[in-house]
Amino acid sequence: MSRPIYPIKALLLGLLTAQLLATVFVHKSNLELYEKISVIEAAGYLTVPNQEIKPQLLTWRPAFYGGLFFTFSLGAGLSLAALAAAWLWVRPAGGRPAVLILLALAWLGGLAAVNLAGFDFMASVFLFTVPPVVFFFSSRTRSDRTETVGRPGIWAFILPLILAALVWGFRADRDIFLDIRDFLLMANRPGQRINDFYYKYTLYPAESFKSLAQKTLRTCRIEVSSDPVLAAELEKTMPVFDYLPLPGPGPADLEIAGQQGDLVLLRGRSEVLRLDPAEFLADPGRSLVKFSSLTDRRSPLRRATFYSLIAGLPLTIYLCLFSLVFWLGRRRFKSGPASVMAGLVCLALCVSALAPIHLAKSGASGKQSTAELLSSPDWTDRVMGLRLVEASNLEIGNFANYRRFLTSPHAPERYWLAGALGRSRLPANHGAITALLADHQPNVVCAALEALGRRGRGTDAPEILKIIKTSDHWYVQWYAYRALRSLGWSQTASN
């Protein structure tokens, strides 16, 4: 049997390399978060994640599963870029040294770009390791051991990919990620498991490359002993912005020192901002956002990860599917026909994956009113109706029998109902929201917590605090904390 022409082995090697790196980096971030939580807890503050999650930060399981986020986003993007570079050097360029030098310069330019805001060890290691591994393996395979299929086989790979991209691009809008979740993933059990896996483990990798402004909790140390009144004002102000003052010496995310009548904001004992105390206290939020921006070294990494997620992941899935079908077809056909068969199968799968979204959107567009959508026997119509209620800020109480969605077997109905209830002005709907807090589906609980925060009833704070302290789901705790903050609650050392 002939060897496959498509570089699946090189791609898988790149993904494996990325997974090893990502696991180590996420585990390191988890250990740092463990230490931070311990310090916050010792100071008497509420922690997110809570004590249910804290022991897991010491284990490798969440690091490995969380690392998959980087593997199938940044790892996929870097691997595909290296594959493209290897193809360019071996095929059109014929292995010319001058082209290899240009590719090396582009690679070094990428290394420089991810460190423009300051040296980022994580981004540098990914870029220094994954592309060279894939490039070396792929270029050797292509030049020494790969069967040639000619232009028909190449076009059989490229054309279906272009057509699939056009079909998805034509259908995509600003709600495409919601559509994928609601109508593609949540419509079947395997998709629900993917959704649950994502929400269970995504905050571990996210924590590793967030800026300070994006983190849930930050620590600070206030060293303004020469002005007790100012120090007391800062102690009161900083928790409002989730910078928790810590007693005694030691590292913190932000250190505030008084020098010659100014406030100096430091990170790791290095001065970042120098401000007049009155200027800082007049608008602490603006100064803290600026501090976060000036100390953020991982903005290039976040952008690269995002673009890799929306482009690299779909391309990786396509390449893997194409290679698998080609390999199966090559057992009976020549390379050309096997490539055509693989392209047609991949195109059919890409289009069929879009079908549930298209049917839901087109079916909803044929209905005359929101009331008609909500009374439809098709659950996807009802979900579109609930999304319209929330987007248009309509009163859900004006629609008949809306409470039946509380017990719907379809999770999207329940979490979009929670969103609509959060905008409701009817006092009686408060009980419906709290009922959804006991839902077994985390997305529903998160939506219910967000609804409570939107309604702004301070009497809900004790129930939300209980959820933060007892929930075993980090995403739920995160939404609960955001809901508390929406109610005007802020941390004190007695929480």
Phi-psi region of 95 (alpha: psi -120 to 50; beta: other; left: phi over 0): left
Q: State residue 6's pLDDT score.
A: 54
**Hey, how many other C-beta atoms are within 10 angstroms of the C-beta on 465?**
16
The helix or strand, by DSSP H or E, that contains position 267, with its residue range, turns out to be strand 262-267
DSSP-based three-state secondary structure for 4: coil
8 Å CB contact between 387 and 405: no
Record the tokens describing residue 151, joined without a space: 């232009």
Comparing CA positions, the residue from 489, 472, 492, 473 lying closest to residue 481 is: 489
And the tokens for 351?
Answer: 């289009």
Residue 2 is classified by DSSP as: P
Q: What is the pTM of this model?
A: 0.92
Q: Distance between CA 169 and CA 165 in Å, rounded?
A: 6
Other C-beta atoms closer than 10 Å to the C-beta of 404 total 12
Instruction: Give Cα 407 to chain centroid, integer Å.
Output: 29
Which segments in the chain show pLDDT lower than 50?
Answer: 1-5, 143-148
- The whole-angstrom separation of Cα 271 and Cα 220 is 14
> Residue 310: what pLDDT?
92
- What's the pLDDT tens digit per position in 215-267? 999 999 999 888 899 999 999 999 999 999 998 777 899 999 988 888 999 99
Give me the helices (H) in 180-264, please.
189-201, 203-208, 228-237
- Which residues are CB-contacts of 232 (< 8 A; sequence separation ≥ 6)? none
Quick check: bond before 131 cis, omega within 30? no
User: Rounded to an integer, what distance in angstroms lies between the CA atom of residue 28 and that of residue 182?
Assistant: 34
Query: How many beta carbons lie within 10 A of that of residue 55, not counting itself?
Result: 9
| 3-state class (DSSP) for residue 222 | strand
All structural domains of the chain: 8-187+299-357 (no CATH), 212-294 (3.40.50), 367-486 (1.25.10.10)
Query: What's the pLDDT at 400?
Result: 87
